[in-house]
Amino acid sequence: MKNLLKIGLMLILGVLIIYPAFSTLLVSLRTDRGFSFENYHYLFTTQGSLEAMGNTLLLGVLTVLVCGLIGTFLAFFVHFFDTPWRRTLDRLLLLPLVVPGLVIVVAFVQLYGESGLVTKTLESVFKLEQTPYRFSGLSGILLVHAYTQYIYFYMNVSLAIKQLDRQVIDAALNLGASYREVFTSVILPYIKPALISASVLTFMTGIGSFSAPSIIGGGFKVLTTQILMSKANMFLELAGAQVMVLVLFATVYLSLGRYYEKRVSFESGVREPRMDPVRIKAPSLRVLTALTGGALVVMILLPVAAIFLLSFVAPGTWMVDIYPRAFSLDNYIRIFTRSRSFQPFANSLQMATLAAVFAAFIAVPTAYITTKTRSRTRPFFEFAVMLPFAMPSSAIAINMITGFSHVLLGAWVLLPLAYLVHSLPLGVRSVVLSYERMKKDYTEASRNLGAGNLRTFTGITLPLIAPGIWAGILLVFIRSLGEYTISSFLYTPSNRPLAIAMVNSMFDFEIGLAMAYGTLVLLVTLVGSGLIRNLQDITR
Amino acid sequence: MTIELQGIAYAYGTEPAVRGVDLSLEQGELVALLGPSGCGKTTLLKIIAGLLSGAQGRIFIDAEEVTLRPAQDRQAVMVFQNYALFPHLSVAGNIGYGLKMRGMGKKDREQAVREIMEKVELGGLGDRKIHSISGGQQQRVALARALVLKPRVLLFDEPLSNLDEKLRIAMRQEIRGIQQELGITSLYVTHDQEEAMAIADRIAVMRDGEIQQVGDPREVYENPVNAFVARFMGECNFLTGGGATLVCRPDTLVLDPLGDMAGTVVASEYLGSLVRYKVRVGEVVFVGETSSRQTFNNQLAAGEKIRFRMDRERCSVMGK
């Protein structure tokens, strides 16, 4: 029974994750004259393709630099000093973790695009002849990335700051180190592993980013958008090769990062007493931090507020004016009364639910095997669930096409399956954390009191890890609900997800409708992430 | 019920934790398994409970071999060091858990839980959540959860180590009282020699996975088989000569102006009714203990020269 379950699970993971990745590799080697590296040769000799690869790496590196500066600054600002409204700031700053990147891009277009609210305001206030800046190309993408992808640096460095050892810092000061020396000789070594692992995550999301390059990239070509082009033009072999190159970039950086992370990591000794935030005494500095904090709140909330407000713009009323004048509930009424408009919302809800529930069924046993057993097959499970993590969304989408297009071409289920693969590592992670937090004593006590394995699992283990399972389900759900990249690769006219409907409406100048979709995604996401936070608190 | 262990051995990977332990417990007896941390005593307990598989040797409970029985069928119920109370169940839910697993109906179960809760003075706390009661109460819940099953054998894994000293002493008397009243054969793991002496019929001293000595508390304290046991059971002085080693507890040093030994006090601690002191004689430092009243005006301050004698009659020859 146990083995049967395990074999079944291995089959599912093999078919869903490993086989498609492998088939992309095979497809990338396929040419008219049998297997060869011709597709790769083409990629590395054609001007346009070389440019796209170069741009991808450039975007990755610049994203790491920009986000590293911003994220680290924010982490120190919020967690190292006793900044006013620290808790609120912390919660707001974590928003990009759950808010779909697409929603931010769309909001940015409405704010800073050619006819965006902020752009037009600046033009009219300063009586400018033309737009003061161009929100497109590399700088536009970087701005979006700066806004959304600082999150890994922020989270990792915040955690590292919380684990700083107050006594070590005091000792350094006591031994005569200046504040600057304390920073370089004590604080920096403590946060270095965090910086490196954050740079890995940021680089990977940077080179895998799709919504920003595809919507505001303009002439700035990167691999992810090229892959979609190849796919749309039916050059699947070329798309496969591009995917492999992208994955190669990601894994090389990942392995380098892991290597250096290991070299600079160390076991910090005492955990208590925890580091108290450093008090800022000078009144002028206090005012400055308060102002910075306030500005941050405004900046984070501005896109969200824009989406929310614009969702009430009455259809067909906002054409030439700078600011919309007529507001109504029409967009929402339309979504909930016209089946053509409601369809994408219902469809995405359905697909996200399917992906989330299926993910839970895979995550619970997989997490069990990887944390609680020493089975010889454990490495297989660890590898299979971590593989999608190293693959950008566009790669996952192409994998699904190369792996299943002959059986599932155009089938509805392809998209939720891809969502599932995309978010499975996070879902498993959530369950793994609860398993790890659960003391072995509980199951031992249960068996000692006479419960068999099954009753121990259903009566003790399952209730104790339930919050982790629910958090995992919600995480997969909200990530799938507003997912854009995979959707652009795999959607069909009869299977339109919310994100695609949102972008389509925007390009049809139905801004209000697009924003209403965006607001719905945001609402579900925010409620979901609030629930996740509570669930995580329970397991703690 | 009796317990019989024959040649129990266990290794974590290549690291041996228990090496060939033989031990038998008589009906109703409480044996304390005493030793420093990492000596294998908790491992031994888990092997008896069936929570560690892959151990060598044979285990008999009441002359019936249980070596290969799964943990849930052994009825060797354990009281865990950190209690391992299920945080998602109420106090009553925890105590009734084992009965439920044994298929007891709801009415009977509630009755049994109520009775045992009265016994351990937890009356009225049945609906409370585990994290809302005090450490001492949690300890009682852990005890009640085990006792309610009327187990054949009770296994205690340092059950009092998370309590403060006063509560620890009160609880050990209570545990001992209930254990004797119900006559449950018990194995009690502890690293505290005073606790072991206070609670146990017999003490088994363990070191590096092996049992060094088994005997009643007085025997182990007064006639240790080796220096490790002697030291672990309390402060002592070793006197060598004539091919034998004498173990002399601190109270065998007698302050005597006419004594045959002279030395300088190195340190002393006033402990209320007792004064414990260290005195250097040549190269050797002896530990002595004397009733506070006997010191009279003698302060036993460091640096003071004193004369004393050793009451060799009350010393024991090691290993004999």
**Could you tell me which of A235, A220, A251, A250 has the C-alpha nearest to residue A398?**
A235
Cβ B80–A451 below 8 Å, yes or no? no
The 10s digit of each residue's pLDDT in B244-301 is 888 999 999 998 888 889 999 999 888 888 889 999 998 899 999 988 877 665 678 8
In the beta sheet, which residues pair with residue B211?
Answer: B206
More confident residue, B160 or A539: B160
Cβ B46–A444 below 8 Å, yes or no? yes
For residue B244, CA distances in Å to A6, A325, B15, B236, B247 come to 64, 106, 35, 16, 10
Closest residue on chain A to B73 (Cα): A450
Give A450's contacts in chain B (Cβ within 8 Å): 72-73, 75, 98, 101-102, 149
Helix (H, G, I), strand (E, B) or coil at A540: coil
- Dist CA A145 CA A105 (whole Å): 9
Give Cβ neighbours of residue A522 (< 8 Å, ≥ 6 apart): A99, A103, A304, A307, A308
Nearest to B84 among A439, A450, A451 (CB): A439
Cβ A455–B101 below 8 Å, yes or no? yes
The 10s digit of each residue's pLDDT in A79-97 is 888 888 888 888 888 888 7
The 10s digit of each residue's pLDDT in A353-374 is 999 999 999 999 999 999 888 8
Give Cβ neighbours of residue B138 (< 8 Å, ≥ 6 apart): B83, B85, B130
Q: Tell me: pLDDT of B26 over 70.
A: yes
Residue A319's pLDDT band, with cuts at 50, 70 and 90, is low
pLDDT at site A270: 47
Give A470's contacts in chain B (Cβ within 8 Å): none
More confident residue, B307 or A127: B307
Closest residue on chain A to B78 (Cα): A448
What is the average per-residue pLDDT within A178-196? 84
Lowest mean pLDDT among A37-51, A237-251, A318-332, A513-527: A318-332
What fold is seen in the domain A37-309? MetI-like fold (1.10.3720)
Q: Tell me: pLDDT of B162 over 60.
A: yes
What is the pLDDT of chain A when averaged over all its residues? 87
Q: Which contacts (CB < 8 Å, 24+ apart) does range B167-170 have? A: B167/B135, B167/B136, B167/B139, B168/B195, B169/B198
- Dist CA A172 CA A407 (whole Å): 65
Cβ A444–B71 below 8 Å, yes or no? yes
Cβ A449–B88 below 8 Å, yes or no? no
pLDDT at site B179: 93
pLDDT at site A530: 84
Give Cβ neighbours of residue A409 (< 8 Å, ≥ 6 apart): none
What fold is seen in the domain B236-317? OB fold (Dihydrolipoamide Acetyltransferase, E2P) (2.40.50)
Q: How far is CA B256 from the centre of its chain?
A: 36
Question: Is the CB of B220 inside 8 Å of chain A's CB atoms?
Answer: no
Nearest to B86 among A448, A455, A460 (CB): A460
CB B292 within 8 A of CB B277: no
Give A464's contacts in chain B (Cβ within 8 Å): 86-88
Nearest to A441 among B75, B84, B149 (CB): B84
Domain ranges in chain A with CATH number 1.10.3720.10: 1-22+340-540, 37-309
- Dist CA A177 CA A175 (whole Å): 6
Closest residue on chain A to B87 (Cα): A464
CB A247 within 8 A of CB A227: no
Nearest to B51 among A447, A459, A463 (CB): A447
Is the model's pTM score more than 0.95?
A: no
Phi, psi dihedral angles at B60 (to 5 degrees): -120, 130
Closest residue on chain A to B89 (Cα): A460
Closest residue on chain A to B154 (Cα): A448
Tell how many helices (H) and how many strands (E) occur in chain B: 8, 18
- Dist CA A60 CA A207 (whole Å): 5
Q: The sheet that has B15-25: what strands, in order across it?
A: B15-25, B3-12, B56-61, B64-65
Cβ A448–B72 below 8 Å, yes or no? yes
Question: Is the CB of B152 inside 8 Å of chain A's CB atoms?
Answer: no
More confident residue, A136 or A13: A13
What is the average per-residue pLDDT within A504-530? 88
Containing A271, the helix (H) or strand (E) segment is none
- Dist CA B83 CA B130 (whole Å): 11
CB A227 within 8 A of CB A485: no
Nearest to A450 among B46, B84, B102 (CB): B102
pLDDT at site A21: 92
Closest residue on chain B to A441 (Cα): B84
Residues in chain A: 540
Sign of CA dihedral A394, A398, A404, A406: positive
- Dist CA B149 CA B76 (whole Å): 10
CB A496 within 8 A of CB A342: no
Give Cβ neighbours of residue B305 (< 8 Å, ≥ 6 apart): B262, B263, B264, B265
**Could you tell me which of A153, A113, A106 has the C-alpha nearest to residue A522?**
A106
Containing A452, the helix (H) or strand (E) segment is none
Shortest CA gap A535–chain B (Å): 14
The 10s digit of each residue's pLDDT in B31-48 is 999 999 889 999 999 999
Shortest CA gap B149–chain A (Å): 8
Helix (H, G, I), strand (E, B) or coil at A398: helix
Shortest CA gap B167–chain A (Å): 23
Helix (H, G, I), strand (E, B) or coil at B32: strand
Read out DSSP for A4-22?
Answer: HHHHHHHHHHIIIIIHHHH
- Dist CA A217 CA A228 (whole Å): 14
What is the residue type of B90? S
Cβ A464–B88 below 8 Å, yes or no? yes
What is the average per-residue pLDDT within A427-453? 89
For residue A428, CA distances in Å to A5, A362, A422, A431, A471 come to 17, 8, 12, 5, 10
**Could you tell me which of A114, A16, A84 has the C-alpha nearest to residue A388?**
A16
Q: Tell me: pLDDT of B205 over 90.
A: yes
Question: Is the CB of B98 inside 8 Å of chain A's CB atoms?
Answer: yes
CB B309 within 8 A of CB B259: yes
- Dist CA B40 CA B208 (whole Å): 7
pLDDT at site A485: 92
Q: Which two tokens stand for residue B19?
A: 């090496």
Question: Is the CB of A540 inside 8 Å of chain B's CB atoms?
Answer: no
Question: Is the CB of A464 inside 8 Å of chain B's CB atoms?
Answer: yes
Question: Is the CB of A269 inside 8 Å of chain B's CB atoms?
Answer: no
Q: Tell me: pLDDT of A524 over 80.
A: yes
Q: Tell me: pLDDT of A540 over 70.
A: no
* Domain range list for chain B: 3-227, 236-317
- Dist CA A134 CA A113 (whole Å): 8
Nearest to A448 among B49, B82, B85 (CB): B49
Phi, psi dihedral angles at B287 (to 5 degrees): -105, 130
CA angle B71, B76, B80 (to 5 degrees): 85
Q: Tell me: pLDDT of A539 over 60.
A: no
Question: Is the CB of B71 inside 8 Å of chain A's CB atoms?
Answer: yes
Read out DSSP for B59-104?
Answer: EEETTEE-TTS-GGGS-EEEE-TTTT--TTSBHHHHHHHHHHHTT-
Nearest to B84 among A442, A450, A459 (CB): A442
Containing B34, the helix (H) or strand (E) segment is strand B30-34
Question: Is the CB of A361 inside 8 Å of chain B's CB atoms?
Answer: no
- Dist CA B16 CA A204 (whole Å): 45
Q: Homologous superfamily of B3-227 in CATH? A: P-loop containing nucleotide triphosphate hydrolases (3.40.50.300)
Residue B157's pLDDT band, with cuts at 50, 70 and 90, is very high
Cβ B80–A441 below 8 Å, yes or no? yes
A1-22+340-540 CATH pick, 3.30.1360.170, 3.10.620.30, 3.40.50.720, 1.10.3720.10: 1.10.3720.10
- Dist CA A356 CA A348 (whole Å): 12
Tell how many helices (H) and how many strands (E) occur in chain A: 27, 2
Q: Tell me: pLDDT of B182 over 50.
A: yes
Residues in chain B: 320
What is the average per-residue pLDDT within B304-320? 86
**Could you tell me which of B309, B304, B308, B310 has the C-alpha nearest to residue B266?**
B304
Give A445's contacts in chain B (Cβ within 8 Å): 78, 80, 84-86
Instruction: Tell me the angle at which helices A414-437 and A511-539 cross, rounded to the nearest 10 degrees.
Output: 30
CB A446 within 8 A of CB A456: yes
**Could you tell me which of B184, B72, B118, B181 has the C-alpha nearest to residue A459?**
B72
The 10s digit of each residue's pLDDT in A228-269 is 999 888 888 999 999 999 999 999 999 999 888 888 877 655
CB A69 within 8 A of CB A154: no
pLDDT at site B158: 92
The structure tokens 């919504």 sit at A211
Residue B56's pLDDT band, with cuts at 50, 70 and 90, is very high
Cis peptide before A273 (omega within 30 of 0): yes
